[in-house]
Every structure is written in C-alpha cells, then in structure tokens.
Amino acid sequence: MRALIVDPEAPGRLRLGEAPDPRPEPGQVLVEVRHTSLNAAELWFAQQAALGEVIGFDAAGVVVDAAADGTGPAVGSRVVGFGEGGGFGALRAMDVADVAVVPDGVDLGEAAALPVAAGTALRALDQAGALLGRRVLVTGASGGVGGFAVQLAGLGGAHVIAVAGSEDGRRWVSELGADAVVGGVDEVTAGAVDVVIDTVGGDQLAAAYGLLASGGSLQSIGWASGREAVLPVGSTLGSTAPKAIVSVYNGGGLTDRQAQLGRLLALVAAGKLRVPVGWRGPWDKIADAVEALSSRRLRGKAVLDVN
C-alpha cells in the first residue's frame, strides 16, 4: 500500500512511500483511509521510529473488510478511529472498539481531526467535572487540542479564557468563541480560575497553577513548550480544598474510545462543535504540514487528504 513512511532523510522524517498491507485480526475492520491528521506527538514519534515504519494515530475512511468475528461496522461504512500507529497508511486495520461510524453530513476529513485532539480535550474536561458557570483557562488555545478545549468548555457552560501566543492565534481563538483571549497567563486579571486545561507546560503551567481557585484542578495534557515548570515556594499550600494537577491520557488501551468519538461526532453533526482546520492538503505535502506545526504557525488542526 501507499503510506507516509518514516525516512530519516526526509524533511520531518516523513515521506510518501510504500509499506506492507496490514493484516486485520478477527476483531478488526480493514479501512481504506481517506484522511488522516497530524498531531504534535507524531513529530516526536517520527524521530524515534525506524526507516519504513508507518506511524499515525488518527484516520477516517471507508470499511473495505468487516471484522472476521462479526462485530463492528459493515463494508461500506464511513468510519473514524484511533490507533497506536498505522494511521498514515492507505489501508489500516483497526480494532472495532476504537472506531465510530461517521454520521451523514459530517466531512470525513474533519472527522479525521477528532480522535487525538478533540478526544483529549473532552477527556480533560470530563476529568475536571461540572463546568457550568465555572472559569476555565485554556493554554495553547490556538493549537489542535486547545481549539477543541475552548469550544467544548464553552458548550459545558464555562466562562472560557484562552491563551494564545500570537496576534493571529488570538484572533483564531476568538472566532472559536472564547469569552476572553490573552497573550499570556500573566495577563489573566479578573480573579481565580476553577479549571486549567494545559497543553504547554513550563512557565505557563506554573503560572496557571498559581491562578487556581481552592478546589480547582489543572488538567495537564502536554508540554508543547518543552520547558520544565518551577512552582514558587509555598504555592501548593494554604488552599482550603485540594488544588490538583491531574494527568490526562488519551492514548491506546482505553475502553471508551467509541463512546468518546460518538459524543464528538454528534456535536459536529449538530453544528455545535467546529473542527478548526488551519492546514489541509494532499498527503504528499506532508513536509508543509510538518513545517507549519513545528514552526508554531499552524492554527488548529492539520488534515491530510489521501489521494
């Protein structure tokens, strides 16, 4: 099959090439992949993987072989799903439990942007608890996860404060419906926040922790800054209720993937959740997508069309 394979000589270590066809196990469907998306983690995995490997978490396409054990969607179904690798191939074997059927009217390319980015934002907000009337701070809001977190927190009834580093990023996030948009955590002036959704780590994590109200939680999704976080002496003390830093995991081995995707797809189908796509193009332009993501110019998600 054709695939975006790892090649140490290629820019971003990814290029279009050939790889062996996947062989589905009994509980897997075989999907003809039409679209995939690029996530920050894939830049890291591309650095670690060997020549010829097919990485990639997200994929959307059409079932060409139903699962041999009789479970899951039928041949011809439009599906989206998550897997630990294989998403950058033209064919992908996927666990039935990790795919969801895409409703009519939802673009398959947009669906491909959901599993990692929107799924992680949703999981973090679920972990944070009830949102109605609460103040939620989202760091890295112009990024893939952040753009979904802003919208989903708003849908949950929160007052959403978004942090984006550039003017262009702030405009982008504003259009996604954030109630307030700032250029840095230190610009948040109107009191404490109940929840932080953090994808940046480093100084932003430390500053955001300092803004947490008593009983609040910081949901730690990622460390896009690549910087360590140093908490000021005493900053973890003196709260009448615990202030938590909670890790967020939306990788392989979870049992609620299909339900999570179903919730997100329903919101997209109802026109309540926008899929913020800042870059979309054919998959042979992977170098451009990698460049946009790694240079911090990408807003929202990058979607790759398999052609």
Ligand X SMILES: NC(=O)c1ccc[n+]([C@@H]2O[C@H](COP(=O)([O-])OP(=O)(O)OC[C@H]3O[C@@H](n4cnc5c(N)ncnc54)[C@H](OP(=O)(O)O)[C@@H]3O)[C@@H](O)[C@H]2O)c1
Q: Which residues bind ligand X (CB under 6 A)?
A: 39-41, 116-117, 120, 140, 142-146, 164-166, 169, 199-200, 221-225, 248-251, 293, 296, 298
Exposed (0-12), middle (13-18) or buried (19+): which is 101, by Cβ within 10 Å?
middle
Do 36 and 283 contact (CB within 8 A), yes or no?
yes
Q: How far is the CB of 158 from ligand X (least distance, A)?
A: 19
Q: CA 199 to CA 202: how far, in whole Å?
A: 10
- CA-to-CA separations, 237 to 29, 186, 201, 209, in angstroms, rounded: 51, 20, 20, 12
State both tokens at 228: 């360590």
Which C-beta is closer to ligand X: that of 272 or that of 296? 296
Q: How far is the CB of 116 from ligand X (least distance, A)?
A: 5
Which C-beta is closer to ligand X: that of 73 or that of 154? 154
Q: How far is the CB of 225 from ligand X (least distance, A)?
A: 4
Which C-beta is closer to ligand X: that of 67 or that of 209? 209
Q: How far is the CB of 23 from ligand X (least distance, A)?
A: 28
Q: How far is the CB of 223 from ligand X (least distance, A)?
A: 5
Which C-beta is closer to ligand X: that of 27 or that of 165? 165
List all residues 6 or more positions away from 178 whose beta carbon is below 8 Å from its beta carbon.
138, 141, 150, 154, 160, 161, 162
List all residues 6 or more positions away from 197 whose beta carbon is below 8 Å from its beta carbon.
121, 124, 125, 128, 136, 137, 138, 139, 146, 149, 153, 219, 221
Which C-beta is closer to ligand X: that of 199 or that of 260? 199
Which C-beta is closer to ligand X: that of 67 or that of 116? 116
CA-nearest of 169, 153, 160, 174 to 267 is 153
Q: How far is the CB of 82 from ligand X (least distance, A)?
A: 11
Q: CA 114 to CA 6: how far, in whole Å?
A: 23
Q: How far is the CB of 293 from ligand X (least distance, A)?
A: 6
* Residues paired with 301 in a beta bridge: 277
Which C-beta is closer to ligand X: that of 22 or that of 222? 222
